[in-house]
Each structure stands twice: as C-alpha cells, then as structure tokens.
Amino acid sequence: MINPAKRRSVLGWLAAALSALLLAGVMPATADDEHGAHSGHKLIAKGDKCVRDEDYMRRNHMKILMHQRDETMRKGIRGSQDSLKNCIECHVNPKTNSVASSKEDFCMGCHSYAAVKLDCFECHSSKPKAPAVGMNPIVTPEQKSEGNDKQSSLSGKMRWQMQAKQASLNMGEGVK
C-alpha cells in the first residue's frame, strides 16, 4: 500500500511532466499558427483596433481587399473602411512613411517572412496621402493639447512605441 503523501507527490510529478509536454507542443504556435499565418509581426497602427478581428485579418485581408477593389473600380464606391488607402493610412511606418519599402514595414514584414510576392504596390502608392512624419498619426488632437507643444511629438513617438509593444504582447497572450 502506497502512503497518501507519496501518492500525492507522484501525481504532482506526473502533472508537471504533462504540462511541460503540452507547453512544448504549443510553443511553436507563437511563431506560426495552424493555418501558417505569421503572428509574431509587430503591428503598426494608429487606432485601437483594425476594421476586423486581427486573426481574421491575417488570413482574409486579401479577400476583403479584392472585394473592395472591384466595388471601387467598377462601381465607384469609395470611402469604405476596407479600402487599401485606409489600410495604408493606419499601418504606415512613421520611420519610412510607407507600408512596403522595407521588411520593417507592415505589409512586407509578413509577406517577406511568408515569401508571398506582393504586387499591389507596383501600381498603388505605398505611402499615405499626408506624410506620416509631419503629422504623426498616433498623436490625436486631444493628445496634442496635453502638455506643451515641444514635448507632444516626443510623447507621441513614445506612445507609438508603447502601443506597438503592447500589441505584440497582446498577440503573444492571445495565441497561448
């Protein structure tokens, strides 16, 4: 007969081993999920959230863009939140003022990782209409009114960095 204390410790070890095994199985998913969508990329965005759920966007942004492209080109329906122009306005990298000029930029970050060629920007401009440098999209008018003007651009930059960091942390938690 095994005494209860010993039994408890054996069970504890078993549980620990099981959870370690499970963790090992889950860990690679932080880089790629089951559909192969790359989720470790740092988000560059000005608002709180995207036009759809992030996971949905990772897999279906091309379908949304394709649908909107025909609506705009053929029927002249403009100003939709699903337009490529709207994507660029939010996701532009303030450093390069582009979404596709380097691997640090929003579109190229994933597309170069996934080795999927991106044709959009052979015709479309990868820059927003108003340059991101002069008008930091993260700094909203309310934020600008806080504190004095000299510090507002610096605080805006820091806020952007913090938000990007927070977004990448949130993504990591979401996958786990």
Partner 1 sequence: MSNDVDNSRRKFIAAGVAGTAGLVLAPGVTLLDMANARPAGEAASSTKRWGMLIDSTKCATGCNDCVTACGKENGVASTGHPETDPQWIRKIELKEVKSGKSHSLPMMCQHCAEPPCVDVCPTGASFKRADGIVLVDRHICIGCRYCMMACPYKARSFVHEEHDDQNPDVPRGKGCVESCTLCVHRVDKDMEPACVEACSAGNHGAMLFGDLNDANSEISKRIATYATTQVRADLALNTGVRYQGI
Q: Where do contacts with partner 1 occur on this chain (CB under 8 A)?
A: 69, 71, 73-80, 85, 88, 122-125, 127-129
Using the minimum distance from each CB to partner 1, give the nearer residue, 8 or 78.
78
Convert 44-70 to b/e letters by CB count within 10 Å (16 or more is b).
bbbeeebbeebeeebeebeebeeebee
- 130: phi then psi, degrees, rounded to nearest 5: -95, 130
Which residue in this structure is represented by tokens 């390069």?
96
| Least spacing, CB of residue 92 vs partner 1, in Å | 11
Report in angstroms how near the CB of residue 166 gets to partner 1 at its nearest.
Answer: 29
Q: Which is nearer to partner 1, 80 or 143 (CB)?
A: 80
What is the smallest separation between the CB atom of 67 and partner 1, expressed in angstroms?
12
Among residues 52 and 124, whose Cβ is nearest to partner 1?
Answer: 124
Assigned token pair, 99: 């979404």
- Listed in sequence order, the residues at least 6 apart from 46 whose beta carbon sits closer than 8 Å to its beta carbon are 89, 90, 137, 138
For the bound state, the minimum distance from the C-beta of residue 115 to partner 1, rounded and expressed in Å, comes to 22
